[in-house]
Amino acid sequence: NAGVTQTPKFRVLKTGQSMTLLCAQDMNHEYMYWYRQDPGMGLRLIHYSVGEGTTAKGEVPDGYNVSRLKKQNFLLGLESAAPSQTSVYFCASSYPGWRSNQPQHFGDGTRLSIL
Amino acid sequence: AQSVAQPEDQVNVAEGNPLTVKCTYSVSGNPYLFWYVQYPNRGLQFLLKYITGDNLVKGSYGFEAEFNKSQTSFHLKKPSALVSDSALYFCAVRDRWSDYKLSFGAGTTVTVRA
């Protein structure tokens, strides 16, 4: 009963370094999402995917890229990390939009610090 | 456009007392409404949702929420709070015709003192 699994759980980067956050879900969900959580701001959508091979921009996409090569995986990349990207990153998955009354399921997050 | 407001950053209650966490929303169409809870160093966990029908929705861990269309509110309630209910609570809204977009409030930190 893994649900949504995120790796790594913690990471510290230096400004300008790159990294990839991995999200895996075992619920056969079509839709997957990447959010960032900052104090007092709730969750903001970075990118999302409505199916394998498709991605789209959310509210705050600048500085991030994503890929969905397999249905169960959704990768978030930071090409050149900046201190403003220090945050907690959450991956979520859900059934398709036409079943939008179903909740999104979240991973436990990746805590990322950029020095 | 859709948005959620949680007017209280923090709510403090004594164990055994009623707990209310407030939420108001704005959508152009009919809403789907959700409450999530987040414990320290964990992801968001689904508590309950309003889709249609009865305005009083019951969810996990003894929580319930009341949908009020005229006041565009969806307040979360628990008749008798427990210390273990201390957590961060998020209200979220989706327009019924939206394909994917879920908008979250800023969150309310609940502290239940023994």
Return per-residue pLDDT of chain A as tens, 115 residues. Answer: 679 999 999 999 999 999 999 999 999 999 999 999 998 888 999 999 999 999 999 999 999 999 999 999 999 999 999 999 999 999 999 987 666 677 899 999 999 999 9
In the block, residue with structure tokens 């036409």: A98
Q: pLDDT truncated to tens, each residue of chain B (114 aa)?
A: 789 999 999 999 999 999 999 999 999 888 899 999 999 889 999 999 998 888 999 998 999 999 999 999 999 999 999 999 999 999 999 887 777 788 999 999 999 999
Contacts with B, A 32-71, CB within 8 Å: 33, 40-43, 45, 48, 50
Output the pLDDT for position B18. Answer: 97
Q: Which segments within A38-86 are labelled E, that is strand?
A: 43-51, 54-57, 64-67, 73-78
B42 near A CB under 8 A: yes
CB contact under 8 A, A40 and B106: yes
Give the single-character DSSP code of A16: T
Output the pLDDT for position A100. Answer: 62
In terms of Cβ atoms closer than 10 Å to its own Cβ (0-12, 13-18, 19+), residue A22 is middle
Total H helices, total E strands in chain B: 0, 12
Output the pLDDT for position A34. Answer: 97
Inter-residue long-range contacts of B100-103, CB under 8 Å, 24+ positions, other chains counted? B100/A31, B100/A33, B100/A48, B100/A50, B100/A97, B100/A100, B101/A45, B101/B2, B102/A45, B102/A104, B102/B34, B103/B2, B103/B3, B103/B4
Q: Between chain A and chain B, how many beta carbons pairs sit less than 8 Å apart? A: 54
Give the single-character DSSP code of A100: T
Q: How far apart are CA B114 and CA B104, in angstroms?
A: 30
Output the pLDDT for position A99. Answer: 61
Pairing of strands B10-14, B108-113: parallel
For A41, the closest of B43, B102, B106 (CB atoms) is B106
For residue A35, count other CB atoms closer than 10 A to its CB: 28
Output the pLDDT for position B53. Answer: 84
Output the pLDDT for position B54. Answer: 87
- C-alpha A82: how far from chain center: 17
